[in-house]
A = this chain, B = another copy of it.
Amino acid sequence: MAQPIRLRQVSPLKASCHQCSLSNLCLPLAIEENELDRLEDIVQQGRIFNRGEHIFDQSTPFRSCFAVKSGAIKTSIISENGEEQVTGFFMPGELVGLDSMGSKNYACTAKALERTSVCEFPIDKLEELTGKLPDLQHHMYHLMSQEIQGSHQLAMLLSKNTAEERIAALLLSLSSRFQRRRMSGTNFSLPMARNDIANFLGLAVETVSRVFTRFQNQGIISARGREVELLDVEALQTVTREFARQNA
């Protein structure tokens, strides 16, 4: 009996890190031009997710890390009780899934905040490659430690700062991440809902809303829905350091 004919799966487009505009932010930044091919060999490129779709789910087998090509992703953990905690927002050039490295299952859920395309790095191949390319391994360590540090900063923000300080810090963080991509650091559109901001920063939605309007009244920002303009970056920086002053 004939085997059912299986059309050869069109292999995912081979990635072209060489030509990617994000190569100076993403994994390629760690390695030499001539070794880039080896990274390209393991990358699967071009998967696209619509807003709201899950890139992966907590407690399902960990298979890959993902680099954001365009769009934005939020990650969150769900505790036993079903309570959600947003653990991070990921913008183009950033790597999602590091918190699951070395684990059997994903430690969090990743969800597209808007139409988002990603590059996929299968973890077994990535580990193999980092074993061969010391620079890449070093960079992975670096990225992971960055994530630890970022998380510690967040903890600090949550435990020591007021609502205004937290939101100012988030706006500045987003601003600098837009700037890294040569986009306006003062005029951008928030990829996430107020709700996500609130959850991430450990606040109630209402509080986020109030702080936005307060900032607006002070002329520090101008916001209409998700469109934000930072009118006075210095003032925002002052807000994040306000705490410092009072305790100096």
Q: Does A52 count as interface, using CB distance less than 8 angstroms?
A: no
CB neighbours (8 Å) of A77 from chain B are 149, 152-153, 156
Q: How far is the CB of A145 from chain B (nearest CB, A)?
A: 4
CB neighbours (8 Å) of A141 from chain B are 101-102, 127, 140, 144
Which residue of the partner chain B has the closest CB to A154? B155
Assembly CA distance A102 to B29 (angstroms): 14
CB neighbours (8 Å) of A202 from chain B are 155, 158-160
**In contact, B99 and A148 (Cβ under 8 angstroms):** yes
Copies in the complex: 2
Tally of A interface residues using CB under 8 Å:
53
Assembly CA distance A213 to B226 (angstroms): 46
Which residue of the partner chain B has the closest CB to A159? B202
**In contact, A155 and B101 (Cβ under 8 angstroms):** no
Q: Does A36 count as interface, using CB distance less than 8 angstroms?
A: no
Contact of A83 among B83, B151, B247 (CB under 8 A): B247
**In contact, A144 and B148 (Cβ under 8 angstroms):** yes
**In contact, B243 and A108 (Cβ under 8 angstroms):** no
Which residue of the partner chain B has the closest CB to A123? B141
Contact of A201 among B134, B159, B245 (CB under 8 A): B159
